[in-house]
């Protein structure tokens, strides 16, 4: 509940930023127009964002026959989560990672990378898929689409300040310059804060869906350790989608926490291990120290 309240307040802050910039551009009428423009952008994103993201990442849809055991595992976890079976996609990159997208549970998709299939055990893979199903269950994919669109609208209006300056807008030239610089930065920080809040919730719900918090913790360690060593070219070309992945796919992994799209992996693991009722997990730099939770000893993709 506290997490939902925080997300609501952060999204309200984004709406306030949109209206403030609209007011600076055109007074009270500008505030209303800005809100309508942001609403139109959200409507377009609501219907098309999932297709755009999957196309950008080079995702290939898997049929039940093509998906094999992966499809069966996802279907079983979806049943446990009381969700419709999402579409399943494979991403042609060796970086272990995954994300979920879609406007609602009835029109959702889960995408996993080739590297994820090779790097994880079956239990760890189940934890990752359960985490993505939790995003679908919480409708986080819609929340993140709306916040990304609002942030984009704010950045667009900030750039418009270049043309209005102090001639037409409110606040004068200095106010326009400050808004042009600070508003997009504030929107980005709010968007990232929302993303971090949703990751904690998805970890907890995902652990409940798969029934093995330790397996998800182990998966997060392995993915985080590998993500910094493997370049995900589609993600690097489309960094706006970075917040959708279970672990930051970009190589700015040492960025300041204020500008991070994900919570610290160590903190996520600590929370999962607390759910497991055991001692805290070791640092993410030593993934092999977490024992696997009953799954095959060889990685999922190697039989």
Taking CA atoms, 19 is separated from 160, 170, 172, 193, 300, in Å, by: 14, 13, 17, 20, 49
Written as one string, the DSSP assignment of 243-293 is GGBSS--SS-TTS-GGG-SS--HHHHHHHHHHHHTSPPP--TT-GGGSPP-
Sheet of 98-102: strand order equals: 60-62, 87-91, 108-113, 98-102
Which position among 132, 199, 236, 267 bears the catalytic label?
A: 132
DSSP state of 169: S
* Contact between 262 and 160 (Cβ < 8 Å): no
**Checking DSSP bridges between strand 60-62 and strand 98-102, what pairing results, if any?**
unpaired
Please say if 106 is a catalytic residue: no
β-pairing verdict for 60-62 and 87-91: antiparallel
Q: How far apart are alpha carbons 64 and 15 in whole angstroms?
A: 42
Q: In whole angstroms, give the CA distance from residue 25 to residue 302.
A: 58
d(CA 103, CA 86) in angstroms, rounded, equals 12
Alpha helices in the chain (DSSP H): 2-56, 64-80, 114-119, 122-137, 140-164, 172-210, 213-227, 233-237, 265-276
Handedness of CA 144, 146, 152, 155 (dihedral sign): negative
Q: Which residues participate in catalysis according to the annotation? A: 132
């Amino acid at each position: 509940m506290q997490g939902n309240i925080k997300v609501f307040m952060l999204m309200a802050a984004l709406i306030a930023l949109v209206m403030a910039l609209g007011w600076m551009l055109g007074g009270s009428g500008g505030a209303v127009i800005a809100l309508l423009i942001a609403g139109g952008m959200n409507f377009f994103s609501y219907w098309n964002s999932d297709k755009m993201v999957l196309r950008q990442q080079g995702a290939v849809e898997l049929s039940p026959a093509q998906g094999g055991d992966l499809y069966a595992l996802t279907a079983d976890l979806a049943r446990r989560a009381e969700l419709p079976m999402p579409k399943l996609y494979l991403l042609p990159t060796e970086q272990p990672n995954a994300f979920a997208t879609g406007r609602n549970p009835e029109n959702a998709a889960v995408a996993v990378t080739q590297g994820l299939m090779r790097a994880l055990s079956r239990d760890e893979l189940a934890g990752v898929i359960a985490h993505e199903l939790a995003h679908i269950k919480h409708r986080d994919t819609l929340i993140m689409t709306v916040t990304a669109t609002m942030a984009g609208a704010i950045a667009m209006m900030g750039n418009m300040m270049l043309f209005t300056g102090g001639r037409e807008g409110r606040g004068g030239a200095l106010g326009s310059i400050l808004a042009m610089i600070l508003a997009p930065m504030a929107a980005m920080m709010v968007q990232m804060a929302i993303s971090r809040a949703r990751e904690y919730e998805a970890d907890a719900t995902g652990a409940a869906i798969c029934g093995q918090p330790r397996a998800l913790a182990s998966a997060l360690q392995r993915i985080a350790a590998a993500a910094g060593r493997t370049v995900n070219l589609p993600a690097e070309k489309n960094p706006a989608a970075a917040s959708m992945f279970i672990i930051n796919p970009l190589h700015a992994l040492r960025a300041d926490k204020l500008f991070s799209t994900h919570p610290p992996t160590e903190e996520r693991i600590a929370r999962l291990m607390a759910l497991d009722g055991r001692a805290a997990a070791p640092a993410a730099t030593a993934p092999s120290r977490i024992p696997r939770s009953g799954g095959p000893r060889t990685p999922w993709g190697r039989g």
